[in-house]
Structure formats: structure tokens, C-alpha cells
Structure 1
Amino acid sequence: MKRLIYFLGPLLLAIVAVFLLNKWLGGFETPGYVLIGIAGWSMETSLVVFAISLIIGFYVFYNFFRFMGWLVQVPGRYKSRGKRIKFNRSQEALIAGLVDSAEGNFEKAEKVLIKHASHSGAPLLHYLTAARAAQSRGAFEKRDEYLKKASNAPGSDLAVGLTQAELSLSGNQFDQALQTLTRLHSIDPTHASVLRLLHQTYQNLGDWESVRSLIPTLNKNKVMLEAEIKLLEAEAFSNLLKQASESGNAPEIQKLWSDIPSYIKRMQGLSAIYFAAMINAGDGAAVEEELTKLLSVNWDETLLALFGSVQSDDVAKQFSVAEKWLSLHPNDVVLLNVLGKLAIKCADPHKAEAYLSQSINTEPTVQAYQLLGDVLFARNEKDKACECYKYGLELASSEIVSQIDAVS
């Protein structure tokens, strides 16, 4: 319709102009004439005819050049139209690929995404989504191929790297994830997602020293909540203490403990790991006093059991301290077992038998039966000792059965 108006409009104006000019010139007695001479040639016509010819000629040439301009633009218009069609199809393919991925049709999603990626305004999204789909169906080679194609997009380093790291983590390829994240961390040391994935990778690799080193950066850049940071610190130091315990190096364990912030030391269970590590390293006597003070203000069965395992330089004093606690905790089974164990170390079998018998009467435990059996066996009361061992084995068996039933 618009083109028809563009064509008929000038034509109508030309007709009106010719009509008005003819009427105006027709009003003169001598409307005039026009003489044109070129070399030996000459042309003479009336002014009316010349003016009409001029108007018609202008109209013809005007439309001719408009037509030529349109003709020149035809290839470009068809090319642009083709691009628009391909772009629209690529957008539809992206949506279809996302839907197929969500529905679990991963192979179908890959095909439609890759087919239209080159014509998309956002090919990066096509390749990254296809990589996730390939990962989901276990096609790791295809995943890496799509990620490589995605990396060709300008400014895609972080997006591609983060996706690659996430997929490597989910596929338990921790070394590969660490390699990618280390590179990304060098590009942007404060990027929240890089830091979050980096600490998860260190955790999975059991590299707790690196987790410990990363914590200040996580805190500074607000990557995690304050409570999460504290829990992560506690987890890191707990595992570092356990690793140090395996080495059996008491000075290293003490150095590590001194580096732990006081608010982390106060967390439930962390001090027990430290004391256990020192006892395991054969230097429990170095922490006996600290353990005694802590039990005086914070009664804890785990710490009490560790106190009983300390190889003290003064066992008699250790036994005396434990007996004083008995007035405050008269029916504490763990304390009674510890007293029985310490009485054996002090070569006092009568007290040992009394404390262990009281423990069994209060609440039978495997440890109490075993210790009491050892005391009786040392006194050559083998029948009674065997009976204690038997009760201990039966109790241990029933506990194992209960655990199995609870799991099933």
C-alpha cells in the first residue's frame, strides 16, 4: 500500500502540475515557444509542450532512479531477511534446548543447540547449555568440545571457566577443576563464584591448608555468611589437627593449636581433637593441666575419657583429681570407668574393682566389663574374669545388632 502511494502520489502531482501549467499558459495570446540548437541541429516547440515534457521527464527519471536504488538494495535486503530468520530460529532453538535439558532430553537438547549456535546472537549460551547437557549424559569428550567452542567467544573466559569448573566438580574431576579455578583466580582474585568453587575443590581434595589460607579472602569479599565462615574455619582446623595427629609430631600440633583463633577453640569438639592428637602423639602429659582446667569449668564425657587416656607423669595426682570430681558427679559412668582405669595404673586393684563394679551396676558398658575382667584375671580369678569378658562380648554384640537394625 505504501509503495502504491509512493508511485501514484508523484504521478498525481505531475498531472495536476501539467494541467495548471497548460491552463495558465493557455490564457496568453502568444503562449511562447522554445528553440534549442545543438551544432547543426535545432528543435523548436511551444512553451506549453516543453514545460509538460519537462515535468513528465522529471517524473520518469525520478521513478527510474528510485527503482534503480531499490534494485541495488535487493541483495542486502534478502541477506538481512535471511539473517533475521536464522536469528529467530536460533532463539527458538535456545528455548527448546533449555526446555529439553530441563526435561532430561539431553541428547536432543545438544543437537538443537549446536545446530543453531553459529546464527545466534548469544552463541556462548548455546555452547554452555549444550556442555551441561553433555555432562548430564556422561559425554565428557563432547562436553569439553562444546566448552572449547564457547571459549572462542570474546570476553568468555570467566563464564566458560566457571562452567567448566562446576561441571568438573560435579563429575568428581577435582584436579581438573582446581587447574581451571587456579587460572580464573589469577584473572580475578576477588570473584565470588571463583572463590566459592575454589574452597569447595580444596575441601574435596582434602587440602585443608589451602582452605585455611583462603578463608581471609572469603571473609573479606563477603563470599559466605559470617556463621558459615566460622564453621568452615572449625572444619579446616579440625582436619588439620587430625592430619597433624597422624604424623605424630607434638610440636607441630601445639603450633597449629596456638594459631587457631580463640573463638574457634571454644567451638564444641575442637579442643577434644587437639587433646586426642597430643595423646596420640605420646605427649598427653603436656596438655594434662589444660585438660584438667577445662573439665573443671566444662564437664564433658569426651574430654573426661581423654583425661583417662593421658599418660601422666604423676598418675597418683591424676587419680586424686579424678576422685575429687566424683563428689560432684557420683553416678557418672564415664568417670567411674576412668577411675577404674587409673586405679589399675596406680596398682590399686581393690579400688579399681569397686569403681568398675559401681559403673556396671549404674550402666553396663563393654569397657567396664573388659577392665574388670583384666583386674580379676590379674588376681587369678579366671572364672569371674571369663564371665566379665562374656558379658562384655554379649553387650558389644547387642550394640552392633542395634546399630544394624537402626540403619536398615
Structure 2
Amino acid sequence: MKNIMYFLGSLLVAIIAAFLANKWLGGFENPGYVLIGIGHWSLETSLIVFSVSLIMAFFVFYVSFRFLGWLFRLPGQVKNRGKNIKFNRSQEALIAGLVDSAEGNWEKAEKVLIKHASQSGAPLIHYLTAARAAQSRGALDKRDEYLKKAADGAPGSDVAIGLTQAELHLSEKQFGQALETLARLHSINPTHASVLRLLHQAYQQAGDWEGIRKLIPSLNTHKVLMEAEIKLLETEVFSKLLKQAAERGSVEEIELLWSEIPDYIRQMKGVSAIYFAAMIDAGAGAKVEGGLARALSTTWDQTLVVLFGNVRSLNDSRQFETAEQWLPMHPRDAVFLAVLGKLSMKCGDKQKAETYLTKSISIEPTVTAYQLFGDLLFAQGDKDRASECYKQGLELASSAIISRIDSIS
């Protein structure tokens, strides 16, 4: 349409110019003539005819050259028009693919995204979305194929592709592959918040608490987690590491780890209880007996009381005397009274043991107290009363189990 307007406009200008030239020259009595000679040939015509012919010839040449220019540009215009059509189709396909993915039509989304990926202005989005769709329908081979195509088609997008790949591996519990990808991304950009966040998730899901421990400074420095979250994570990490060290039974490893734990975490009752329990299980309870006593003198805690009673002390009498010093402050603590009964038995004072265990059961019957009392009576030869204690302890334990099952159901 534009070309037709150009042609008609040029023709109109040429006609007007020819008309004005004819009118102007026709106003003279002798408008003149033009003589052109070439060799033995000559051409003579009036100035009016020559002027009009010159104007029309200019118009013809102008139109001819514009037409030739249009012909030269035509292949490129056709090619660009085809590209634009394909690009628009790919954009429509991307929107349709994203909608299908959101609606859970994984196979449909995958097909439409891949079909138009090569013509898209954003092929990376096509391939990454298709990879998610493929995994959602269980086609892991296709997922990996699309991720490879994304990497080949967008070589400068390693982090974006790697993050998607790691997320997909984590959702499939492929922790080894996820950690390998994230380690590579971390080497490329050690401060990338999303990489650090995914590394934290991968280590946590894989149970690699030592890996999280090394990552915590980066999580804190780059504000990936809030300060309160960092402290909670540190507490969880050191608690898990202490439990793992306890399972291995290495006293040196437990003590080294404890020395590396920050003071504000060591002062937490739960964490210190894990440390004391680990040392006791590893056969080094005597090393923490004094620490347990100091902790109980500062803050009373029944878990620590039980742990104190489980310590294999180098001096049983001194251990018992230390525990009895707390009796005036906690005379009706059933757990503590059971521990005193246990320590009395270790020291050979059966009379005190019976007194403490009887009082403990009267305040709050527990399976532990019944078992200890039964052991004491059995050692004294009173098998009937011992059997009755064991029976009551079993009934109490079974009642607790039934109550727990009922609460779950």
C-alpha cells in the first residue's frame, strides 16, 4: 500500500511539473527549440516537448530505480516476515506451555515448548520449562536431554541452568548429582544467594551436617538466612554432629567438636545434654561428671539429672554425696529421687535406696523407678515383691505405649 502511494504521488508531481512547464513556456511568442547532434545524427524539437519529455523521463527512471530497489530487498523482507511469524508462534507456544505446566498438563506442555524452542527469542525458558514438565511425568531421560539442549543453546546461562538442574535432582532425591552441580556453581559464583540456599537444602536432605557447618559462614555473610535462623541452624548442626560422633564412640572426636562449638550454643541445655550423653556412652563419663554437677547447680534439668546418675564415676561415694546436696532444693522431684535410689544402690546403701525409690514411686510412678526397686528387692531375695514391681513397671510402660498409639490415631 505504501509503495502504491509513493508511485501515485510521484506520478502526480510529474504531471503537475509537466503541466506547469508547458503553460509557462507556452506563454512566450517563441518558446524556443532544442537541437541535439550526435555524429551524423541530429534531433530538433520544441523546448516545450523537450521539457515535458525530460520531466516524464525523470519520473520513469525514478520509478524504475525504486522498483529495482524493492526487488533487491524483497528476499530479505520475505525472510524477515517468516522469522517474525515463527517468533510470534514461539511466543504463543511459550505462553501455552507455561499455562499447561501450571495446570499439570505435562506432556502437552512439553510437546508445544520443544516444537517452537528453536524459533523463540528465549529458548532457555522453553527448555527449562520442558525439563520440569518431563520430570513431572517421570521422563528423567528427556529431562536430562532438555537440560543439555538448554546448555548448548545458551552457553552464558550456566547458573540458571545449573540451579534448575539441581532443583530437579533434589526433588528426585538425587543428592549426589545435585551436590555435584551445586559445587560447580559455587566455584563459579561463591556469593550467589540461590546457590548457597540450595546447597544448604541439599546438605540438609542428604544428612551432610559437616557440609552445612562449613557453609554457615557464607549463609551468614551473604544474608541468605536471618540471624535467628542461623543460630537455630548452628544448634541443629552441632547437635547432629555430636550424635554422629557419639555413634562412632570416639572420645577424642567428641571433645574436639565440643571445643569448637560457640559458647552460646554450648550453654543450651539440649546441646549440653547431647554432649554429656555422648561422653557417657563412649565410656568417658568420669570426664564430664564435674561439668554435669556444675550445670545442675546452675540450672536444674531432669535430663541432666538422669545423665548424672548414669555416670560411671571414679568415686561412687563422692558422686552420691554431690547428688544428696541437691535434695533440700528438690525434695519432691520423682526423677531425682529415683536417681538417688540408683546411686544409693551403687554405694551399697540398700536402706537409703529403698527409701528414695519408695518415695519416688509414691510421688510419680515411673518405669525406671519400678525397675530399680525390683532389682533392689530381687538382690535382697524378696522375689515376690520384685516380681510385683516388674509387673507394675510393665503395665505402666504398656499403658504409655497404648496412649501414644491412641494419640497418633
Taking structure 2 as the reference length, the TM-score comes to: 0.97
What are the residue-to-residue correspondences of 1:64-75 with 2, within 5 Å? 64-75=64-75
Q: 1:5 & 1:115 partners in 2: Cα distance?
A: 40
Secondary structure (helix, strand or coil) at the match of 2:191 reads coil
Q: Which amino acid aligns with 1:44?
A: E
Q: Alpha-carbon deviations, 1:117-159, whole Å to 9, x = none? A: 0010000000001111111111111110000000011311111
Quote the offset at 1:70 in angstroms. Answer: 1.3
Deviates more, 1:246-255 or 1:268-277: 246-255
Q: Alpha-carbon deviations, 1:253-294, whole Å to 9, x = none? A: 111111111111123400000000100111111111111111
Q: 1:84 & 1:149 partners in 2: Cα distance?
A: 23
Q: 1:143 & 1:267 partners in 2: Cα distance?
A: 46
Q: 2:286 & 2:144 partners in 1: Cα distance?
A: 56
Q: 2:155 & 2:64 partners in 1: Cα distance?
A: 45
Q: Which amino acid aligns with 1:384?
A: R
Q: Alpha-carbon deviations, 1:59-88, whole Å to 9, x = none? A: 111111111211222221121111111111
Q: Alpha-carbon deviations, 1:64-115, whole Å to 9, x = none? A: 1111211222221121111111111111111111111111111111001101
Match of 2:262 in 1: 261
Match of 2:186 in 1: 185
Q: 1:201 & 1:189 partners in 2: Cα distance?
A: 16
What are the residue-to-residue correspondences of 1:359-370 with 2, within 5 Å? 359-370=360-371
Q: Alpha-carbon deviations, 1:289-308, whole Å to 9, x = none? A: 11111111111111111111
Q: Which runs of 5+ in 1 are unaligned?
A: none
Match of 1:167 in 2: 168
Secondary structure (helix, strand or coil) at the match of 2:326 reads helix
* In the alignment, structure 1 residue 118 sits paired with structure 2 residue 118: yes
Deviates more, 1:264-273 or 1:291-300: 264-273
What are the residue-to-residue correspondences of 1:103-114 with 2, within 5 Å? 103-114=103-114
Deviates more, 1:208-217 or 1:162-171: 208-217
Q: 2:176 & 2:299 partners in 1: Cα distance?
A: 43
What are the residue-to-residue correspondences of 1:3-402 with 2, within 5 Å? 3-152=3-152, 153-402=154-403
Quote the offset at 1:336 in angstroms. Answer: 0.8
Query: RMSD value over aligned CA atoms?
Result: 1.2
Quote the offset at 1:199 in angstroms. Answer: 2.0
Q: Which runs of 5+ in 2 are unaligned?
A: none
CA 1:132–1:305: 2 relative to 1, 3 Å = same
Secondary structure (helix, strand or coil) at the match of 1:326 reads coil
Match of 1:403 in 2: 404
Q: 1:285 & 1:43 partners in 2: Cα distance?
A: 131
Q: 1:10 & 1:78 partners in 2: Cα distance?
A: 26
Q: 2:373 & 2:84 partners in 1: Cα distance?
A: 89
Q: Which amino acid aligns with 2:15?
A: I
Kindly report structure 1 stretches of 4+ aligned residues shifted beyond 6 Å.
none
Q: Which amino acid aligns with 1:269?
A: G
Secondary structure (helix, strand or coil) at the match of 1:160 reads helix
Q: Percent identity?
A: 70
Quote the offset at 1:3 in angstroms. Answer: 3.5
Quote the offset at 1:2 in angstroms. Answer: 3.8
Q: 2:386 & 2:26 partners in 1: Cα distance?
A: 147
Quote the offset at 1:348 in angstroms. Answer: 1.0
Q: Which amino acid aligns with 2:290?
A: E
Q: 1:142 & 1:121 partners in 2: Cα distance?
A: 22
Q: 2:150 & 2:15 partners in 1: Cα distance?
A: 62
Q: Alpha-carbon deviations, 1:357-382, whole Å to 9, x = none? A: 11111111111111100000001100
How many residue pairs end up in the alignment?
A: 408
